[in-house]
Amino acid sequence: MIRGMTAPSFMDLALKTAENAGKAGEVPIGCVIVRGYEVIASAGNRTLTDRDPTAHAEILAIRQAAEAIGTERLVDCDLYVTLEPCTMCAGAISFARIRRLYYGAADPKGGAVDSGVRFFAQPTCHHVPEVYSSVGETARIFCKALVIFSEICSSTSVCTSASP
């Protein structure tokens, strides 16, 4: 249990999870879910490992959190993720009723919060969390994740099957 941590501290945990995902050959994205200053779930991308295109860090962490608290509604939970969520993950965040979303780096290509479709701004969106972008040192988060991914790409063939 981790108490009294700040948003950047929780983002540091998400970054560590992203680093571990990268070392496992995945796109280095990490996510933690916090309830009452306690981390109740954490996950890194596992799309390649699980051979599951939906195994994004956010989806996996939401599943863990729902299991941990015994409900699919995560109304008093905050989600920290290293990269702006995609459309699928933004939808899951909305359906789970996440209270606050904190993300580190924008994703102009695949993001769906402040980039792309801007999912939470759509009239058909069921629930809109409070959104905080550029949490922590955005450049540090993004650059570190890309460095990890680049190192993996240079030593394996993962880059032919995954893209950030």
Strand order through the sheet with 100-105: 38-44, 30-35, 77-83, 100-105, 130-132
Amino acid identity of residue 164, one-letter, is P
Round to whole Å and give the CA distance between 132 and 103: 6
Let me know if 72 is a catalytic residue.
Answer: no
Catalytic residue (choose from 58, 130, 137, 151): 58
DSSP letters for 77-115:
EEEEEEE---HHHHHHHHHTT-SEEEEEE--TTT--SSS
| Tokens linked to 57 | 């860090």
3-state secondary structure of 5: coil
**Cα dihedral 109, 120, 58, 138 sign:** positive
List residues with catalytic annotation: 58
